[in-house]
Structure 1
Amino acid sequence: MTMRATLDFLLHDWIDAASLTARPRFADHSRETFDSVLDTCERIAREKFAPYNRLADTEEPRFDGERVHLPQATHDAARAYAESGMLACAQDYEIGGMQLPCVVEMAANSFFSMSSVSMGAYAMLTSGNASLLMAHGSPTQKAVFARNEFAGRWFGTMCLSEPQAGSSLSDLATRAVPDGPDFQDDPLGPRYRLKGHKMWISGGEHEITENIIHLVLAKIPGPDGKLVPGVKGISLFIVPKRLVDAEGRLTGERNDVALAGLNHKCGYRGTTNTLLNFGEGRFPVRGGAGAIGYLVGEPGRGLACMFHMMNEARIGVGLGATMLGYAGFLASLDYARQRTQGRPVGPTGKDPASPPVPIIEHADVKRMLLAQKAYCEGALALALYCARLVDEQHTGESTAADEARLLLEVLTPIAKSWPSEWCLEANSLAIQVLGGYGYTRDFPVEQYWRDNRLNMIHEGTHGIQGLDLLGRKVLMDDGRGLKLLGQRMQASITAAGALPPLTEPAQALGQALARLGAATRAAWAGAQPDEALANATPYLQAFGHVVLAWIWLDVARCALVCRDRLAPDFVDGKLAAARYFYRYELPRIEAWLGVVASRDRTCLDLSPQAL
């Protein structure tokens, strides 16, 4: 079965995306229009992205001191994506959008992530950048910057990290000062001059588009000239590479944003990754010193605005990790069906006179393939479920919309981190299936692993996601989001438990959910934050496995309900993956939750010198 068959099943049978067409925003659509979008994106990804994925890896971005060079294929792929209208596909008709549901947008983008995740990253960043401006920008900022990004005329970035601060945003040192006495009067927004350095900026320099719109976090000094400590002093600015007027026309003047260097990465090489200097004087702008930036929203509210983009990006990162894992799974599955080696162990032992068999006949190879299937198809279902929650938040009635918001708050750390860890493991297993060949560049699976290794790091490391989940998300609103998620799981347990093949996993999920709740309470029972959060990452891992067990139980239920109109092998594959997850994966949570519930201090008390 193809990935498309699974995608169609999840989108239409499990999530019932077509039911969204009953809502006014999506009333012009139907299953046929959704399928047409998927067909178009699948074709573009196949023709413009997939054939050049290896090229983007071997011919990584190169800086000659003046400009960054990328393979022509990257330019062509970006142009094809922009011309498809996918950058604005979820936006209003009035700004050139298609008003597609987020869940259909995510499903369509899965093809690009699978075909060449690094070539598609420019679009993901641009869409998130423009969506943030639509939520928090002024009418002029939306018209000038967001609309030109949605049209593919300009691409965008997010500039958070700094060399000395990394992920510790409270320690940002980039400064923004008002640009003269009339700084409030610029039609593009209050105008500031920025000075500082930003690190790890994906898409930070290229010539794919005529302009790059940087969204930059910086601090506005107080009356004493000092930066406000902590995150409350952070503001958000639009800093274009090339200056524009209020009509969106290039003025011909370069902004003082300079490339300090490219980062040379293990994988994900098709996306430029940069160190940028703002206001160093390499491209001085008339009227003052520093790069010109326009304030977005209110001063001191920059981090809240940026999280709008970051949360969308985190779900996108999870989807990218998923599809890299899926690409490796399909490659290793194809190899296992063709590669002959060894003989099966029968009742009387191996018969050396018999011909070798395809390695897919061996139980351990089946184990590795089934693990990949369970990881990748489960992660894809999770990403689509979260995207469906986005649609519910934006178009559902008030109670349902608020519940979707809460569920998204709790699930976003999982949607980012779980695929990043376990679909990377799927890539490792794909290499193992191919054996020595998998470790060579003659096959693509080694590149999939290298590309995927980034996803556990960017948009918030595992450690950050764990702290966010245990330290904030499960506690917010007196734990209402966690309780709501538990109610959704209980409903699935009841529905699946009525089907004899799923009685056992339904009971197992109920027990796992109770164990998770007990560990959550124990972690915080009279504990100081440092003690409660010392094992936040094992908590994240256990929480993710419980969520994926829930996803697989409900997917298996749907496959059983729909089995009369699905291919028998397709249904059997879904049931086998669910069974694998419950028997091989879910038991892992005992060890993870054990250290959480006991508030184990092994790591907290360890002296750095002991290492």
Structure 2
Amino acid sequence: MTLRTTLDFLLHDWLDTTGLTSRERFADHNRETIDAVLDTCERIAREKYAPFNRLVDTQEPHFDGEKVTLPKATHDAFKAYAESGMLSAAQDYDIGGMQLPYSVEAAANAFFACASVSIGSSLLSVGNANLLMAHGTELQKQVFAHKEFSGQWSGTMCLSEPQAGSSLSDVATRAVPDGEGFESDPLGARYRLRGNKMWISSGEHELTENIVHLVLAKIPDADGKLIPGTRGISLFIVPKKMVNAQGELTGVRNDVALAGLNHKLGWRGTTNTLLNFGEGKFPVDGQAGAVGYLVGQPGKGLACMFHMMNEARIGVGIAATMLGMAGYYASLDYAKGRPQGRPITGAGKDAAAPQTRIIEHADVKRMLLTQKAYCEGALALELYCARLIDEQHTGSAQDAEEARLLLEVLTPIAKSWPSEWCLEANSLAIQVHGGYGYTRDFPVEQYWRDNRLNMIHEGTHGIQAMDLLGRKVLMEEGKGLTLLSHRIMATVNRCNGIPVLAPHAKALARALQDVGVATQKAWSTGVPGEALANAVPYMQAFGHTVLAWIWLDVAGCALDNDPQQESLVTQGHVGCAKFFFHYELPKINAWLGVVQSRDLTCATFPEGAF
């Protein structure tokens, strides 16, 4: 089954994306226009991205002290992507958008992530612009966001600092008012920023004529001291090159300097940078300090930035999923053509018999089926979340509220689950290739290296797990968790009436009950240190339960369309569901065991004993 076949089934049969075209915002679209978008993106990914995936891995970005050089293939790919209109696919017509459902945009972008994730890393520009559309002034939208949607400019997200890492409360970058009248600048209250930001993807390049940095910094109090914690954090637009209120470049470079490139295990085609803000290398108006324009209210920067971070987390989930999928397709192709070994018959092996292809061996099928179940299940989850975003923006008041609650609970899973289990799929793809999988003659080792980064991107597993167990399942008196449980039970009740799926439905109901019990027992003492000591095992069990639900729902849809399983596509969906329930869902018992008992083995292990 090809990626396009999978996407078509998930979008049209399972999620009924075409049904969205009955809504006013999407009224100009239909199945034909949606398919045309997918056709275009599939072609661009095939022609401009996939052939150069190895090239950008070996020809890393180079900084000569003045500028960063990227391969011509990266420039050509970005140009083709921008010209396709996908940067503004979901935006309004009046700013050059296509008013496509976000679920279609997400599906279309899957082709690029599968073809070359480090070339196709433009999601931050879209997320940057979307944040400004939600929290910026009208002029900030026009000057900065619209140019990012057009591809003229690009954007970044500047949170982490060398000394702080993921601990945003320890951000030390300062922003002070830029002289008298700083509040009257038409682009926003004008500040001068000084500090350092680390791990900034696409922080310096020549792909676009300007780069729009969104930077978290602290505004000092009346005594000139930084406010501890996150209360003092504000958000600023810091362009690489200065612009006027008409959105024109002034010819002045802002005081943002590239300190160096980070050379990572994977994503080698993407520039990853350490940026110095306000060090005086490019003084503006004769003064050191990077010029930044306030977004939203002072001290509310983190709330604004979470708009972009949550969107980026779904983007990371899609990237992880598609890297896993790329490895799956490569190992499937290899297994179909690689002869090795002979079948075992009643009399044992016949050395004179012809060799069998390795796909005929049960253990190789196990590894391929594991990859398929992980990656296609993760893709379904990501598209389900994308569809929730469409509901949040265009559904009825009740549907929008339910979508919001579900996204709150599912976003940590949408980011973390693919980045763990689709990475495992990449490991299995290497295993299928045997010794060849470790060589650069085959692409699977690069897919693994590229995917290993996604466990850290936009928040580590530990951060996502504490967010899930410490906030999301508890927030608003557990409304999100309750709603998700109702959705899962609706699938259980429906599939109880389908004989081939009924045993799985019962297993899912038990798993859901076990997760609920574990949630209560984790918090039964009310001590956060005890509840969160095993947050990651909790998230793993929660995620596996969600994926079991996704697979049961997908299989139920496939059988609705093809009750006799005459199609190999249906057999694939039902077989994956069976595999997941037999091989994967039982794993949750061990994870939930330590959660329910509030086991403190890890938390109390003495440092000196390591």
Identity fraction in percent: 71
Question: Which 4+ stretches in 1 moved above 2 angstroms?
Answer: 564-567
Distance 1:112 1:549 in 2: 27
After TM superposition, list the pairs within 5 Å mapping 1:242-321 onto structure 2: 242-286=241-285, 288-321=287-320
Write the letter of the residue equivalent to 1:152.
G
Write the letter of the residue equivalent to 2:365.
K
* CA displacement at 1:574 relative to structure 2: 1.1
2:428 corresponds in structure 1 to 429
Distance 1:442 1:566 in 2: 38
1:522 corresponds in structure 2 to 521
1:603 corresponds in structure 2 to 602
Secondary structure at 2:349's aligned position in 1? coil
2:558 corresponds in structure 1 to 559
Distance 1:565 1:386 in 2: 30
Write the letter of the residue equivalent to 1:267.
G
* CA displacement at 1:228 relative to structure 2: 0.5
After TM superposition, list the pairs within 5 Å mapping 1:123-202 onto structure 2: 123-202=122-201
* CA displacement at 1:570 relative to structure 2: 1.1
Write the letter of the residue equivalent to 2:474.
L
Secondary structure at 2:213's aligned position in 1? strand
1:211 corresponds in structure 2 to 210
After TM superposition, list the pairs within 5 Å mapping 1:439-458 onto structure 2: 439-458=438-457
Distance 2:206 2:269 in 1: 14
2:322 corresponds in structure 1 to 323
Structure 1 residues not aligned, in runs of 5+: none
* CA displacement at 1:289 relative to structure 2: 2.5
* CA displacement at 1:287 relative to structure 2: 5.0
Write the letter of the residue equivalent to 2:407.
L
Secondary structure at 2:191's aligned position in 1? strand
What's the TM-score once normalised by structure 2's chain length? 0.99
1:53 corresponds in structure 2 to 53
Secondary structure at 2:198's aligned position in 1? strand
* CA displacement at 1:565 relative to structure 2: 10
Secondary structure at 1:572's aligned position in 2? helix
* CA displacement at 1:575 relative to structure 2: 1.1
2:364 corresponds in structure 1 to 365
Distance 1:543 1:298 in 2: 36
- Indicate if the aligned counterparts of 1:179 and 1:288 stay in contact, CA closer than 8 A: no
Secondary structure at 2:344's aligned position in 1? coil
Q: Is the counterpart of residue 377 in structure 1 residue 373 in structure 2?
A: no
Q: Does the C-alpha gap of structure 1 residues 565 and 106 become closer, same or farther in structure 2, counting only changes over 3 Å?
A: farther
Write the letter of the residue equivalent to 2:228.
P
Structure 2 residues not aligned, in runs of 5+: none
1:511 corresponds in structure 2 to 510
Distance 1:511 1:347 in 2: 40
Secondary structure at 2:221's aligned position in 1? coil
* CA displacement at 1:567 relative to structure 2: 6.0
* CA displacement at 1:579 relative to structure 2: 0.7
* CA displacement at 1:347 relative to structure 2: 2.0
Write the letter of the residue equivalent to 2:581.
Y
2:225 corresponds in structure 1 to 226
Secondary structure at 2:29's aligned position in 1? coil
Write the letter of the residue equivalent to 1:375.
Y
Distance 2:609 2:78 in 1: 50
Write the letter of the residue equivalent to 1:497.
N
1:19 corresponds in structure 2 to 19
Distance 2:565 2:65 in 1: 57
- Indicate if the aligned counterparts of 2:280 and 2:287 stay in contact, CA closer than 8 A: no
2:410 corresponds in structure 1 to 411
Distance 2:564 2:252 in 1: 61
- Indicate if the aligned counterparts of 2:235 and 2:300 stay in contact, CA closer than 8 A: yes
2:349 corresponds in structure 1 to 350
Secondary structure at 1:147's aligned position in 2? helix
Q: Is the counterpart of residue 33 in structure 1 residue 29 in structure 2?
A: no
- Indicate if the aligned counterparts of 1:60 and 1:70 stay in contact, CA closer than 8 A: yes
2:87 corresponds in structure 1 to 87
After TM superposition, list the pairs within 5 Å mapping 1:53-72 onto structure 2: 53-72=53-72
Secondary structure at 1:217's aligned position in 2? strand
Distance 2:526 2:339 in 1: 57
Secondary structure at 1:224's aligned position in 2? coil
Secondary structure at 1:235's aligned position in 2? strand
Secondary structure at 2:134's aligned position in 1? helix
Secondary structure at 1:495's aligned position in 2? helix
Q: Does the C-alpha gap of structure 1 residues 40 and 65 become closer, same or farther in structure 2, counting only changes over 3 Å?
A: same
Q: What is the aligned-residue RMSD (CA, Å)?
A: 0.9
